Amino acid sequence: MDGDKMDVVGDLKHAPNDISPTNVHVEVHVKSHSTARRDDIKTHVLALLNRHRMVFGDYKWVEFDEEFLIKHVESVAIVDAERQPIDLKSCCLSIHIFSLNDEGPSTLNLEEEEDLSAANHWLLPAAEFHGIWESLIYEDGVKSQLLDYVSTTIFFSDKNVSSNLISWNRVVLLHGPPGTGKTSLCKALAQKLSIRLSNRYSYGQFVEINSHSLFSKWFSESGKLVTKMFQKIQQLIDDKEALVFVLIDEVESLTAARNAAQAGTEPSDAIRVVNSVLTQLDQIKRHPNVVILTTSNVTEKIDLAFVDRADIKQYIGPPSTEAIFNIYHSCLEELMKCQIIYPRQQLMTMFELETMGFLESNVSELSLSLRNIAVKSKGFSGRALRKLPFLAHALFVKTPTVTLERFMEAMDQAVEKQISENALLVNCV
Amino acid sequence: MMQFEREENSNRSGETGEMAEARVGELAPVVEDKNDKLEVNNKRASHEGEDSRNAISSYLYRDDSVDTEANIRSAQDNPTEAACKNSLELPCGSVSHESTPIEDEIRAEKHLTTGDDCHSIKNSQDGEENKENCCVAVAPALVLTGSSAAPEEEGERLKRSDPKTGADGCVAVVFPGSITQDACCKFVCEILKCVLYLRQQLPMTYDQLVYFQKKQQATGPGEEVVGGRPGRPGGWDVRRCQRTVADLEEVLQQLEVLFSLSRVPRVLLLLGGTSLLPKEAYEVNLEALWDGPPVGRGLRTSACLRQLFRRLFLADFLLDARPVRLLGTVVMAMAHRDCGVGWFRPRLDYRVPPRAKRRVIALSCAPGPQAPGPQAPPVPPGHADDYVWFQAPVTIKGFCK
């Protein structure tokens, strides 16, 4: 199954029959103005990989010594690999070549005279979503599970598994507290899959539904609006070359629990919306090239029939200490790249710290103090963590350039301020 | 319109002297008279929109018929041209022989084209004049079929009888000779302008817009900014107008550059939606032009443009009665992968949207009188997959009053 599945996921250069060749994904980001043939690019990338046989975990080349690659390729990256030395010779290489669409979102309108757009629509891989996948840090397995889920749905569709006997609904529900990156994860997942499956589907489409636009001012019209929306999506799906992702953000607004309506607090029109969504989902699931991604903060408000339809109900919790450390690490790297923190200093990764056994030394001092800040900020949401360096700079630095030590002090202060603010907020309530 | 008439006259300036004189004599009063009316109508058009479009068209229609009547007469005067006429087939083979005014018109037109051919070698060096042929009034002239029922029916018949019109909404235009690359570019640009106007993305034709804008700039910016709000002389947003005109101008210029760098087998004009799911799609297919006689001394651009647009009207190509919202227009063109164009963005994976309502203008050329023997067709360099889609990075946003 593994081998077959890999065939689905990427095009492979099979290594000589090893016992279990590990599959390595190589993403080749082609410059947007390049018109080079994909085959030529592939040959050149393979040559490059031949020259660099051994890699340790994920690695990204952005500078090349070959004319062709300099001209056409932005980056070559080995992604989602395990943290161990990889011998590229003995691996299956899946090479995914893509370039980004820098068009912004376009809007889908349901009614001609309506100005409010019912959905935003991106062409994948979109420049806007680039880099989100890497920036999202979760416990091991969350991201790869989601990838595997979609790969399996496509694999099952390919094998013509009867959906009457084994059914899957193509619905993913991500839930959890606010600010944990559920929506971003949906976008990143769509982007990732459109890259991974680029040799199978020529492009990806990402449709983000504005759920509030599906409620009509006319009584009993809302259900029809939902149907109209799904008809639009159906048009996209009908193109077999496209892989379509539908994101319903804050899905509880479309699928509010119907039993609440029995208390008389909901108009019956809202029930029609839920019914309409459920029936439409059932219709859409027979198409092999669609995935429905939904997010929610308040799962208890969601209709049970919908929750039941979701194949994966992934809880996305607040980040762990290690994740917080990684988030801070990436933030500081970015600030050093932009020379706001100057001079550049080497920060160790959590993995390197672990291998050193958290021993204090000259080299690890800064990294250890960053880890302390990370421990202190346990319980913050991902969104809060990402804005913390900004707050630290705004409130406690106030100079154009700053050393790394000084900036970490500022971050420490900012964390304390956040904690005290949160405490006050709780007291008020 | 004035320019149009003059152009007509100037086109034939290469014909025998007394003939041209006679034509001018015939047309002169008509031109004078109609000109005034048309100007009035144009002004009305910018205020009233749809209805006055038809009003213009009725004038234009009359215009044309008068003009072609004159042409027929003059053609009969000239025996050599009459011979040319007989030797030429109509693009649509199975048109019946009973003589309707429209057919006469087409024949006359056809014949005129060949008449032009006879001296086009002379004139083709005269690049300046060819550039002058920018067909200022072609776009409004297109509305002519909308005005009367008879031509419409005729158009339907032509569309059906044409062997090349296989799919719904495909119009084939066969030119009686070779077409230069410059001319191809001109066709595409004119079709773009025309589509934008007739699909109600512009309140008046592009050339009129440019003219108005120039006039406005000439009158000075005094009235323009009053209290921070953009001035709205004539009832429409100057800033949007300027932006649209600037965008369109850029696209037109860059199309010229693209055509000079590479052969362009296909051009897509996508209105609304996204490039993969547009609301309306128009395709100009130039592929067949390659199989024609070798490029070098082409037909006169202006004559071909007239033939092209006449064909489009008769086929009722752009007249869709349904009102359209303001949309963004994206221009896509197929060109050689290594042509080195910088402005257009390559879209290697792009495929023409299969489900959208698409209308195709297929241009091709038959071996004309100037290329009698069968000559080796120029084989396009490289393989078919060397040609990839390029997308203009600018979306032309429609605007109205």
Mean pLDDT taken over chain B: 63
Query: How far does A115 lie from chain B, in Å, by closest CA?
Result: 11
* pLDDT (mean) for A165-178: 90
Query: How far does A312 lie from chain B, in Å, by closest CA?
Result: 30
At A148, which amino acid appears? D
Paired tokens of A349:
């990764």
**pLDDT tens digits for B175-224?**
888 888 888 899 999 999 998 888 888 888 888 888 888 888 887 655 44
Query: Quick one: which of A285, A283, A290 has its CA closest to A201?
Result: A290
Residue A34 contacts B, CB cutoff 8 Å: yes
Query: Quick one: which of A200, A225, A231 has its CA closest to A212?
Result: A225
**pLDDT tens digits for A97-128?**
999 988 878 877 776 666 678 888 898 899 99
Query: Quick one: which of A124, A94, A91 has its CA closest to A106?
Result: A124
Closest residue in A to B351 (Cα–Cα): A202
> Lowest-confidence range among A31-45, A66-80, A193-207, B284-298?
B284-298
Query: How far does B337 lie from chain A, in Å, by closest CA?
Result: 6
Closest residue in A to B387 (Cα–Cα): A35
Residue B277 contacts A, CB cutoff 8 Å: yes
Residues of chain B contacting residue A98, judged by C-beta atoms under 8 Å apart: none
Query: How far does B351 lie from chain A, in Å, by closest CA?
Result: 9
Residue B273 contacts A, CB cutoff 8 Å: yes
Measured distance CA(B170)–CA(B187) in Å, rounded: 16
Chain B, window 336-355: residues with a beta carbon less than 8 angstroms from a chain A beta carbon = 337-338, 342, 345-346, 348-349, 351, 353-355
Residues forming a β-bridge with A120: A107, A208
Spatial neighbors of A52 by CB under 8 A, at least 6 apart, are A61, A88
Closest residue in B to A104 (Cα–Cα): B274
**pLDDT tens digits for A336-363?**
999 999 888 888 888 888 888 888 888 8
Percent share of chain A, pLDDT over 90:
33
Spatial neighbors of A81 by CB under 8 A, at least 6 apart, are A24, A25, A55, A57, A58
* pLDDT (mean) for A148-170: 87
Residues of chain A contacting residue B337, judged by C-beta atoms under 8 Å apart: 35-37
**pLDDT tens digits for B233-280?**
556 677 888 888 999 999 999 999 999 998 899 999 998 877 877 888
**pLDDT tens digits for A280-307?**
999 998 888 999 999 998 888 888 899 9
Burial zone of A160 (CB within 10 Å; 0-12 exposed, 13-18 middle, 19+ buried): exposed
Q: How confident is the model at residue A92 (pLDDT cuts 50, 70, 90)?
A: confident
> Would you state the pLDDT for residue A26?
92
Residues of chain A contacting residue B274, judged by C-beta atoms under 8 Å apart: 103, 106, 121, 123
Query: How far does A202 lie from chain B, in Å, by closest CA?
Result: 6
* pLDDT (mean) for B56-70: 39
Size of interface A-B (CB pairs under 8 A): 39
Burial A358-390 (b: 16+ CB within 10 A, else e): eeeeeebebbbbbbebbebbeebbbebbbbbbe
Place of tokens 């037909």: B299
**pLDDT tens digits for B344-361?**
989 888 888 776 678 888
Query: How far does A127 lie from chain B, in Å, by closest CA?
Result: 14
Select the more confidently predicted residue: B105 or A398. Answer: A398
> Would you state the pLDDT for residue B66?
37
Q: What DSSP letter does each residue of A230-289 carry, written as one string?
A: HHHHHHHHHSTTEEEEEEESSGGGTSB-THHHHTT-S-HHHHHHHHHHHHHHHHHTT-TT
Residue B325 contacts A, CB cutoff 8 Å: yes
Paired tokens of A403:
């050393």
> Pick from A32, A36, A37: which is nearest to B345 by CB?
A32
> Would you state the pLDDT for residue B384?
62
Which ranges of B176-300 does DSSP label H, i.e. alpha helix?
Answer: 181-198, 206-219, 238-261
> Would you state the pLDDT for residue B274?
77
Residue A35 contacts B, CB cutoff 8 Å: yes
pLDDT higher than 90, residue A415: yes
Residue B357 contacts A, CB cutoff 8 Å: no
Q: Which of B345, B358, B391 to mutate to test the interface with A (most CBs of A within 10 A)?
A: B345
Query: How far does B349 lie from chain A, in Å, by closest CA?
Result: 6
Residue A242 contacts B, CB cutoff 8 Å: yes
Residue A241 contacts B, CB cutoff 8 Å: yes
Report the SS3 class of residue B333: strand
> Lowest-confidence range among A129-143, A241-255, A290-304, B88-102?
B88-102
* pLDDT (mean) for A173-196: 92
Residues of chain B contacting residue A194, judged by C-beta atoms under 8 Å apart: none
